[in-house]
Amino acid sequence: MSRRWILAGLGSALLLSGCFAVNTTQVPMAATYPYNTQRKMQAAHHWDVLAANEAQGMLRSRALRGKALYIDPNGENSTFAQSYQELLTSRLVSQGALVRTAPGNTARVTYDVQTVEHRARRDARAPRGTWTALSAGIAVATLPINQWGEPALALIPAAGLADLFSGSWESVSNHEVIITTRVTEDDRVLYSSSNLYYINGDDAGQYAGSRPLPVSSTW
């Protein structure tokens, strides 16, 4: 085939590819988010950490300076709701806030709890460096086998890596909880803070004051 025919064929292919608009699609394509983290609530201590953080946020709020606060029991009988009210009261008082037991002449502190259950399986990519660390551990563990008298010693480097990294690895749960703490006065919102956490499926009942909201998602 002559060079002329080859060039003509290439030119036709380029023209056709432009006509078909290769970089188009009828619907938006799914894309993952940049790597990020979300904490997982697994202990009452984590509730206390949340209460301490919200107390600090309220005390730093310029809109709440000098105001007395009343923590309104929201009527929920869940373990979390009852515990969070007590923990938040303790944290506010210990940090110098004026907390009253009656609502008169106070700003009202409320909190809402919403559990979310994802029905679809959700896959998560391992953090950057995870597999490199695991591979390095395996390589280091196998290296001494032919050099040390006791092969069991070869497990020491791998065990060290496991101890170093395992504390920061956590599975992705299909259950989440959204906790919103707000302060209002005369129909004005003076402070609002929402926090999202993973929770274990078996722990969802501790937050059962709100009806779970099913969410179907695929990644």
CA separation for the pair 152, 158 (Å, rounded): 11
b/e per residue, 122-132, with b = 16+ CB within 10 A? eeeeeeeeeee
CA separation for the pair 67, 125 (Å, rounded): 46
From the number of C-beta atoms within 10 Å of its C-beta (0-12, 13-18, 19+), residue 205 rates as exposed
Structural domain for 59, as ranges? 40-122+175-215
Q: What is the mean pLDDT of residues 181-205?
A: 93
pLDDT value at 210 more than 50: no
| Whether 95 and 134 share a structural domain | no
User: pLDDT over 70 for what percent of the chain?
Assistant: 61
Instruction: Give the Å distances, CA to CA, from 175 to 54, 172, 196.
Output: 23, 9, 11
Three-class DSSP category at 193: strand
| Whether 66 and 151 share a structural domain | no
Question: What is the tens place of the pLDDT at every residue in 173-185?
Answer: 789 999 999 999 9
User: Residue 105: what pLDDT?
Assistant: 93
Residue with tokens 């990020």: 36
Answer whether residue 1 is part of any domain.
no
User: Residue 119: what pLDDT?
Assistant: 81
pLDDT value at 145 more than 70: no
| Whether 162 and 189 share a structural domain | no
Side chain identity, residue 41: M
Q: What is the mean pLDDT of residues 47-60?
A: 96
Q: The domain spanning residue 74 has which CATH number?
A: 3.40.50
More confidently predicted of 175 and 23: 175
| Of 219, 202, 197, 212, nearest in space to 84 by CA | 197
| Whether 61 and 138 share a structural domain | no
CA separation for the pair 71, 157 (Å, rounded): 52
27-36, 179-188, 204-213: which has the minimum mean pLDDT?
204-213
For residue 70, give the H/E element and its range. Answer: strand 69-71
User: Residue 217: what pLDDT?
Assistant: 47
pLDDT value at 135 more than 80: no
CA separation for the pair 121, 217 (Å, rounded): 8
User: Residue 10: what pLDDT?
Assistant: 58
DSSP β-bridge partners for residue 71: 109
DSSP string covering 152-190 = GGGHHHHHHHHHHHGGG--PPPSEEEEEEEEEEETTEEE
pTM, two decimals, is 0.67
| Whether 77 and 160 share a structural domain | no
Answer whether residue 44 is part of any domain.
yes
| Whether 77 and 161 share a structural domain | no
Side chain identity, residue 101: T
More confidently predicted of 83 and 33: 83
